Amino acid sequence: MTSKNIKILTQLLNLEGVKVVSHHQYKGIGVILKIESIKTESICPRCGTKSNRLHQNHRYTIKDLPLGEQEVFLEINKRQFKCEKCKKPFTEKLDFVDRRRKYTKRLANKIIQQVIDSDIHSVAKKGYVTTAIYRENVKRCIKKLIGRKTIILKKTWYR
């Protein structure tokens, strides 16, 4: 893959702070874009100290918005750094994905918008994610909006 193609894919992906390093298209699955952070350091969440001391690498795959009819998955090298001050490891924060999620924030926002315009089961049939993930996103969105810990959705709304 040429550096020009990599640059175009990075621009099309439009995620701040990361670059595409390679891509593969798999028939019946979609496109997998291998991405990595362009930053060389991260800030320790405990003490606020910047660190560039790499401790470990963790690769995982998350789902992103489709590109046309193609499903798009991002293979991320999420790095773990070791803080020089408090001597503890910490994982870099990526702004485009919430903690412990397998999908991007922008996919979650699209899901919420589609559910608002329709219902969970109709949107789930489009195949972005499962009905359970749609429910989880709707509940999380409502919690953020009204600040409550427990949300019970009417079953008629998401049938």
Residues 11 and 58 in one domain: yes
pTM: 0.73
Task: Summarize pLDDT for 27-66 with one digit per residue, the tens.
Answer: 888 999 999 999 999 999 999 999 999 999 989 999 999 8
- The CA radius of gyration of the chain, in Å to the nearest whole number, is 18
Tokens for 132, please give them: 């359970």
Inform me whether the pLDDT recorded for 108 exceeds 80. yes
Whether residue 109 sits in one domain with residue 68: no
Is residue 154 pLDDT above 90, yes or no? no
Predicted confidence (pLDDT) at residue 156 exceeds the cutoff of 70: no
Domain that holds residue 71: 1-96
> How many structural domains is the chain composed of?
2
Supply the DSSP symbol for 80: E
What are the angstrom distances between the C-alpha of 100 and each of 4, 94, 149? 33, 11, 18
CB 102 within 8 A of CB 78: no
Averaged pLDDT for residues 141-148: 63
Please check whether residues 55 and 109 belong to one and the same domain: no
Residue with tokens 């990361």: 18
The answer to whether residues 47 and 122 belong to one domain is: no
Contact 5, 44 (CB under 8 A): no
- Tell whether 34 and 110 lie within a shared domain: no
Stronger pLDDT, 84 or 119, i.e. the higher one: 84
Q: Are residues 118 and 148 in the same domain?
A: yes
Question: By the 8 A CB rule, do 99 and 57 touch?
Answer: no
For a pLDDT cut of 70, what percent of the chain falls above it? 75
Backbone angles phi, psi at 6, to 5 degrees: -60, -45
